[in-house]
Amino acid sequence: MRLLLLVALAAYAVAAIHSVLAFVNKRRAADRVAVGSLAAGFAAHTFVIALDWIQDGHYPLYSFRETLSFLAWTLAVAYFVATLRYHINALAVLTMPLVAFLVTASTLVRGAAPDNSAANVTEGVAAWLFPVHTTLVIFAYASFFVVFAASLMYLWQERELKLKTFGAFFHRLPSLSTVDDIGQTAAGIGFTLLSLGIVTGVIWSSQRTGRMWHNDPKEIFALLTWLLYLTMIHYRAQWRGRRAAWVGVVGFGLVLFTFLGTRLMGGYHVFG
């Protein structure tokens, strides 16, 4: 199992390196290697997640190690969807190194021994909502990363246009309108997934403990993230362009804190 995960990591690392080379040197050969390596790594990674599920007997979003691995997998899915829709290669420069990093981290992090409070998340009449809730939320995070990446590309291009200092990479980025559309579309998808994730989480929590809200740090910051992207979508017409890009950056900062920062604060969410 670990060997297969290392194979996936090696393929992702090759994809990351060649994605950067393809972007910097504009070589089609490097781009083909990156695509092939990504496909091979994704296939191996998918097999690892499926085997983990079968062998461990629980959905592979229980420990922090599994969550990191699954997040890397969803980022690869988000990248595939975005490139199929918009036919852009620049997104790989930001996505592939992150995927490789997350898989590396998942191989180094040890899954904590589950205690009773964590173990019962997969028990009870509403146990089926746990995988639904966690999957929706992780895919929402992947969508918000695409928003973040599009926001960075927009701000980079806009700055060079304003200063009229067109660097070597300027013409290798999608147009401002394309980048803006990517960000807005990904924000809409991420917001929908997060909304469904929050709803299923509330139902699952209510069935599990009889309480819909636990005043937990992760719950609070997930709600703040939801409100920020709701505002972004509500004011879509007025917030296109630079303002939307900055909201995308700030929103992803909230996502990172919800995912990582709240772990240090403890609380009801003892898994992931």
Domain assignment present for residue 78? The answer is no
Same domain, 259 and 132: yes
Q: Is 133 helix (H, G, I), strand (E, B) or coil?
A: helix
Q: Is residue 243 part of a domain?
A: yes
Residue indicated by tokens 């990156």? 34
Tell me if 259 is assigned to some domain. yes
The answer on 139 and 106 residing in a single domain is no
Quote the radius of gyration of the chain (alpha carbons, Å): 19
Listed in sequence order, the residues at least 6 apart from 10 whose beta carbon sits closer than 8 Å to its beta carbon are 41
The CA distances from residue 25 to 16, 21, 229, in Å, are 14, 6, 36
Judge whether 242 and 158 are in contact, CB under 8 Å: yes
Q: Mean pLDDT of residues grouped by 10 in the chain (272 residues)?
A: 87 94 82 92 95 83 88 96 87 93 89 49 67 93 95 86 67 81 92 94 77 74 90 76 87 88 58 48
Burial of 215 (0-12, 13-18, 19+ CB in 10 A): exposed
Cβ atoms 74, 50 nearer than 8 A: no
Tokens 């979003």, residue located: 61
Say which residues have a Cβ less than 8 Å from residue 248's Cβ, sequence separation at least 6: 144, 147, 148, 150, 151, 183, 187, 232
Q: Are residues 139 and 249 in the same domain?
A: yes
Does any domain span residue 165? yes
Number of domains in the chain: 2
Are residues 89 and 177 both part of a single domain?
A: no
In a domain, 28, yes or no: yes
Domain that holds residue 28: 1-73+85-113
d(CA 261, CA 269) in angstroms, rounded, equals: 12
Residues 178 and 64 in one domain: no
Provide the 3-class DSSP secondary structure of residue 144: helix
Instruction: State both tokens at 158.
Output: 């806009």
Would you say residue 2 lies in a domain? yes
Q: Is residue 239 part of a domain?
A: yes
How many CB atoms lie under 10 A from the CB of residue 207? 14
pLDDT at 117: 46
* CA dihedral angle for residue 147, residue 148, residue 149, residue 153, rounded to 10 degrees: 100
Does one domain contain both 98 and 134?
no
For residue 80, being part of any structural domain is answered with no
